[in-house]
Structure 1
Amino acid sequence: MSFEFERLPTEAISLDAEEMHQAIEFSRPIPDDGRQWQTYLNALALFVLKKWLQERDDNLIVNWADCTITKPALANIIPNIANLQVGNFKLCLITIGNSWDEQIPLSRIVVDIPEFVPHFYVFIEVLESQELGIVRGFISYPQLRENLENFQTILPQPDWNYEIPLTWFDNDQNRLLLYLLALQPDAINLPAIPNNRQQTLAAQESELATLLWQLQTPETELWQILNWQQGSAVLTSVELMDLIYKLQTGGVNQENPETPLIPASLRDLIKLITQPAINVGRWLWDELDEIGESLAWTLLPRFAPLREMRSPAEELDAIALQLKAQGLEIPLVARSGYQNFLLAGIPLRLYAIAWNSSTVHEPNLWSLLLILGATSPNTLPENFKFRVSDKTGILLEQSVNPQQRNSYLYTCLVGNWDEKFIVTASLGDDIEVTLPPFAFDITR
């Protein structure tokens, strides 16, 4: 199939000053100059497509609210615009400046990761200096996949790009318009999104902190640090993408600037993201979830003003009385559970008490009281530390008071229903145990 482009066809779309300014604003949050320029061109291509469609049919609405260019963490990594919605179709824009060859790069991310795969890839040339753009051609996902299977010499490059021949694109733009207007989206089969994303991330959790810590400099690309298996797992986690963006924009700092060690806040955040959480909301229904059961958590009886209890419920009752004397009262609606675990051979017990703390003025809040102590002997070792983190970083880190030799450490947390907390017990800098995160979902 011959594929020839005129340099300036009559269908070239003009860009106005406001659109040029908006494109600059889209690109401003990107920390690397090269990726910032590509984001700028991508934004101009978005406006070109929008105008091109408006000139041909007002019924085709471009919805870019959820596309990757509106999310700096994704635009910082993905060189194309993915998840762009036009009517009921997903589009991916491939943007090239005014210099291109017989092949154009297309990110493997938008081809091989189902979350970013579109119905159609649309190739747009942007002549930024002339404030013009041209819709050059398109190809459907099934056709692209078939071509890649038939031309097995076209393989992903080390930089996670395919070099796609221009001849693969259909340069009859009216045919794209016809498909968007008349075709049903389910006529184009898209790959299913795997349901084991969490397990895949959890399997790689131990090495992710070391790898992602190497992405601190804005110039560093994901493909330079991660292999494709690792990269595809990271790219499907919005929280990890946000973390990478924070790393490259200086949003994650070392606790001690004089040491190159990976900060505890980063290690905690990766565990918080990758590990499945214990749903303490289920405790309100007298139920343990699968994670709680697998970790041998034990639910305790409901709190009551008077009742006879046996240890460890008796121990928790005594602690609750001490906390009440300090001004922290546990509501009767709270549910509690505990887990025993070992840290360097030292037997420890973590109590978790959860309740719905929503009010009329502050809905969707939950509270979590964490109490960590030693089961035998009944005091914690001198170098013992208790750390709690959420996705923003370390919330608190408590140490044992050498003079008092605490029998337990505790903290009470309040979060929105979509927030999670993670607990770490440690001895010194090298020995620690991090328990699975705690989450709160009262739906059954």
Structure 2
Amino acid sequence: MTHSSNPIAQMWLDFEALPVEAIDLSPVAIDEAVRLIADMPNEQRQWQTYLNALALFGFEQWLAERDAQIAIDRQHCSLFDPQMNNVIEAVCHLKVNQFKLCLITTGSLADEEVTLPRAVVDLPEFAHHFYVLVEVQEEQEIAVVRGFLSYNQLMERQARANIQADDDWTYQFPSAWFEQTPDRLLLNLRCLDNSAIPLPAVPNHRLTQLSRMRSQLETLLPQLDSPNRQLWEVLTWEQGTAILTSRELVNWLYQLQTQESPGLSANLTNYLSDLLRLLTQQAMNVGRWLWDELDELAQELSWQLLPSVAPVAAFRSPKEEFESIVRSLQHKSIDISPQARGAYRNLHLAGIPLRLYALTWPLLSDSIPEWTLLLILGTPSETPLPPGLKLRISDQTGILVEQAMDRGEQNSYFFTSVVGTWDEKFLATVSLAGGIEETLPPFSFALERVR
């Protein structure tokens, strides 16, 4: 077999095919891109993350070669956030000189259309001052900054063309919309004030929307347990908006799609109900107890404030019972602050009378202020707790603790405690076998005093 082509001529053609604006990607950048894909749950997302990483590193080098003093802020960049990177296939929240940039990776601008995730177009939380096209040729290990489009230009042209999103939550926009002279982007970043490109305000009704669809999401979200399933395959766009704009639910989804054990999947599904309640339900402020006050929610739920902790000799009233339990805990070396204040509420679960005591106090230090919540579950008398009784406490990261009464135990109470910062909330659920349970509104802590 003979070859008519000249190898030297072919090498020259290959050389000429490389764009003159091409940025050579360093081995360090490529290694970093490979490292980043390890956190992605499936091959498709791994490949997109790899390309996005090369696009970012190439763009940063492009900026540095033109202006070494330009400020690049990666702190909130989605590429380094596996949970967010799992749901939006673009480089979001990159800041350059106080401008928010979204990098869109493309294979070639020979394509007449550019694909943008719907989230970066329709959701104010993901709106950016500039959308930048970066071509990545991974085999040649190069990147090229091809063009850019401002937010206001994108909105105007989309409205004029009346382009609708596709079923897979993406938009296809003409590549001709993008300014093909990237150096003009650099001029804007240097000379323009970011107020010249106003971004939409984030709506304040997100939690209301989430609350309205809570029961639907409890049913639908567990169906995304496969890493190969996309949000758009299970949810409506309105439901997807509720997920994409909730950091806690984005984190939950990532945990679900990266877990390797069926048991962990079941735990996450159980926790989903707690998380949605934490996000949507009004919390009871136990910090008010330190001022001998109950907030309106606590009063509606018939919580009864207890006096300061003091030792007593016998079980009689709820106050005396509580103080005796606290004294017993102190004998077991459970540290309870003298500042602690408590309250109780009677519960009935499957006809069984129970009493839940809650004790709280602040933890002040030179660093981050924290608070303690100590929950004690007992009965109105000294009768043993029923077997199978459980007390579960969750926060916005997961189930923190689950205490259970084993068969054969004859305890009249059990307890658990958690510690959090002042902006953290805790959700308590009391349950029996057979799915019988009662979840209380979240506990929160703030020391403001109502006058």
Structure-1-length-normalised TM-score: 0.87
Distance 1:267 1:169 in 2: 44
Q: Which residue of 2 aligns with 1:161?
A: 170
- Once residues 186 and 340 of structure 1 are traced to their aligned partners in structure 2, the CA distance between those partners, rounded to angstroms, is 55
Question: How does 1:2-401 map onto structure 2 within 5 Å?
Answer: 8-98=18-108, 101-152=111-162, 154-250=163-259, 253-254=262-263, 263-289=269-295, 291-292=297-298, 295-304=301-310, 311-328=317-334, 330-344=336-350, 346-357=352-363, 364-375=369-380, 380-390=385-395, 391-399=397-405, 401=407
Q: Which residue of 2 aligns with 1:431?
A: 436
SS in 1 for 2:287: helix
Q: Name the structure 1 match of 2:414.
A: 409
Alpha carbons of structure 1 residues 47 and 443: separation in structure 2 relative to 1, 3 Å: farther
The CA deviation at 1:407 is 4.0
The percentage of counterpart residues that share the same residue type is 47
1:74 CA displacement:
0.7
| Cα contact 1:380–1:400 (8 A) shared by 2 | no
**Could you say if the C-alpha distance between residues 400 and 196 of structure 1 is closer, same or farther in structure 2, counting changes exceeding 3 Å?**
farther
Tell me the C-alpha RMSD between the 2 structures.
3.1
Query: Take 1:42 and 1:443, find their aligned partners in 2: how far apart are those partners?
Result: 46
Query: What TM-score do you get using the length of structure 2 for normalisation?
Result: 0.85
- What is the distance in 2 between the residues matched to 1:116 and 1:287? 41
Q: CA deviation at 1:381?
A: 4.2
Q: Which amino acid aligns with 1:320?
A: V
CA deviation digits over 1:62-108, x for unaligned, max 9?
21121100100111111011111001100001101248621111001
Q: What is the letter of the counterpart of residue 429 of structure 1?
A: G
Q: Which residue type is aligned with residue 123 of structure 2?
A: I
Aligned length: 433
Conserved? CA contact 2:376–2:414, under 8 Å: yes
Name the CA shift for 1:351/1:198 in 2 (closer, same or farther; >3 Å). Answer: farther
Residues 27-76 of structure 1: CA deviation (Å, up to 9, x unaligned): 22111111111111111111121122122222322211211001001111
Task: Give the gaps of 5 or more residues in structure 1.
Answer: 1-5
* AA partner of residue 405 (structure 2): S
Tell me: CA distance 1:408–1:441, structure 2 relative to 1, closer, same or farther (3 Å): same
User: 1:159-182 CA distances to partner (integer Å, 9 max, x unpaired)?
Assistant: 110111112111122221221111
Is 1:333–1:355's contact at 8 Å kept on the other side of the alignment?
A: yes
**Take 1:289 and 1:175, find their aligned partners in 2: how far apart are those partners?**
57
CA deviation string 1:398-442 (max 9, x = no partner)? 1265563x5433223334555543211122232211112333344
Judge which range, 333-342 or 43-52, deviates more.
Answer: 333-342
Once the 2 structures are TM-superposed, how far is the Cα of residue 384 of structure 1 from its aligned partner? Answer: 3.2
The answer on whether the counterparts of 2:30 and 2:54 sit within 8 Å (CA) in structure 1 is yes
Counterparts of 2:299 and 2:382, CA distance in 1: 27
Cα distance 1:306–1:315, how it changes in 2: closer, same or farther (>3 A)? Answer: closer
Pick which of 310-319 and 54-63 moved more.
310-319
Per-residue deviation, 1:344: 4.0
Partner of 2:8: none
Kindly provide the amino acid, as one letter, of the partner of residue 82 in structure 2: P
**Matches of 2:294 and 2:184, distance apart in 1:** 55
Verify the 8 A CA contact 1:277 1:437 in the aligned structure 2: yes
5+ residue gaps, structure 2, are: 1-15
3-state SS of paired residue (2:204): coil
Asked whether the equivalents of residues 254 and 263 of structure 1 are also in contact (C-alpha less than 8 Å), the reply is no
CA 1:151–1:209: 2 relative to 1, 3 Å: same
1:3 alignment partner in structure 2: none
Quote the Cα distance in structure 1 between the aligned partners of 2:442 and 2:188.
Answer: 46
Q: Given that residues 304 and 332 in structure 1 are in contact (C-alpha distance below 8 angstroms), is that contact kept between their aligned partners in structure 2?
A: no
